[in-house]
Amino acid sequence: MRRALWRALPVTTTPEGRAIVTTVLDVELISVTKRYGNTTAVSDISLRIPRGSYCCLLGPSGCGKTSTLRMIAGHEDISDGDVIIAGQNVGNLPPVKRGTAMMFQNYALFPHLNCVDNVAFGLKMRGVGKAERRAEASKLLAMVEMEKYAARLPAQLSGGQQQRVALARALITRPKVLLLDEPLSALDPFLRGTMREELKRLQRELGISFIHVTHSQEEALALADLVVVMDHGIIVQSGPPQEIFNRPATAFVARFMGGHNVIRQDSGAVAVRADRCRIGMMDSALVGAGGIGGAVCSIEYLGTVVKVGIETETTGEVVALVPDDQFFASPLTLGETTRLTWATADAHPVTL
């Protein structure tokens, strides 16, 4: 079960006999809009999610990410635009007809059914016989390492265990796309890390697309092949995680992803990663490339790095993450006037 790919990647053979993987989309959104009365939750967004991707919809609360997910799931009507799943325009089809399955934020396990019957629910609705559906459900429980708890009721499980059952229940109908609504937000930090690895592993093994809604940039960076940053109902930037982190398109993305200074200059605003910034004259190679003066307003020792805050006149507080050895080689004191510098290649223009 664990090793079996549910869907092989689409492979075509070139005339020379070389196999190439063609890009096929699992989900495509075309000018999708969601309105609730007079308010627009999602405004004319378009997105292409290639087959077998781990896609994270990332943004602050109220940015439209959950509405987008629910429209893909078929739990919310689409006000305008088209949702295409595996080549089929799903319009207002019910969830099962779309080939999607959703894992709910609060897990939404049926409290009166034990684990195996919760997982088997989708098959029961399709009229699969009791023995057969339970056998299949047991396989899925084994996949999420919950087979020992098959006879337990959801109330007798911990949050992490409930989540595994919910995952098995969502996967039993063999969806083409799994939709996850803030799946890790209710877990404690340790479990969150474990479940994160597990989600990624499952996604790779099953070869299906996962669309994962989150407000944690860390989660998105760790999991996604495709990060979609949303704000105020629009997609601000989408791309691979390194691209989003290293080259934020707007000041909002830079601030939301964290670890960046957004610095206003005469030529326009730029974003510079805080760990690429240096202080004063410590690194002569950087002198003159880019810099801003100010007074040291905070010093925090974080172990491997020291976080130095500098209050500037033009942009307010900026931050440098200085490796600890460099910092202690020539320590700074609070109130001292200094310069924050960076290499030109590290400064990326952003729109405010």
**What's the CA gap between 98 and 70, in Å, rounded?**
12
Q: How far is the CB of 102 from another protein (least distance, A)?
A: 5
Judged by CB under 8 A, the chain residues 107 through 146 that form the site for another protein are 108-112, 121-122, 124-126
Q: Collapse the DSSP code of 318 into the 3-class scheme (helix H, G, I; strand E, B; otherwise coil) and give the result.
A: strand
From residue 90, give the alpha-carbon distance in Å to each of 4, 10, 226, 252.
Answer: 28, 22, 22, 33
Q: Which of 104, 152, 215, 311 binds another protein (CB under 8 A)?
A: 104
Six token digits for residue 239: 């791309």
**10 Å Cβ neighbour count for 275?**
16
The residue range among 98-106, 144-152, 208-216, 281-289 that interacts with another protein, by the rule CB under 8 A, is 98-106
Q: Which of 49, 101, 308, 320 binds another protein (CB under 8 A)?
A: 101
Q: How far is the CB of 19 from another protein (least distance, A)?
A: 36
Q: Which of 15, 17, 87, 94 binds another protein (CB under 8 A)?
A: 94
**What's the CA gap between 53 and 208, in Å, rounded?**
7
Q: What share of the chain is helix, strand, coil (3-state, %, to 5)?
A: 30, 35, 35
Amino acid at 214: T
The residue range among 55-63, 104-112, 234-242, 300-308 that interacts with another protein, by the rule CB under 8 A, is 104-112
Fill in the per-residue mask, 144 to 183: x = in contact with another protein (CB under 8 A), - = not in contact.
-------------------------xx--x----------
Fill in the per-residue mask, 21 to 60: x = in contact with another protein (CB under 8 A), - = not in contact.
----------------------------------------
CA angle at 190 for the pair 186 and 195, rounded to the nearest 5°: 65
Q: Is residue 136 a contact partner of residue 154, using CB atoms and an 8 Å limit?
A: no
Q: Which is nearer to another protein, 43 or 105 (CB)?
A: 105
Residues that bind another protein (CB under 8 A): 73, 75, 94-96, 101-102, 104-106, 108-112, 121-122, 124-126, 169-170, 173
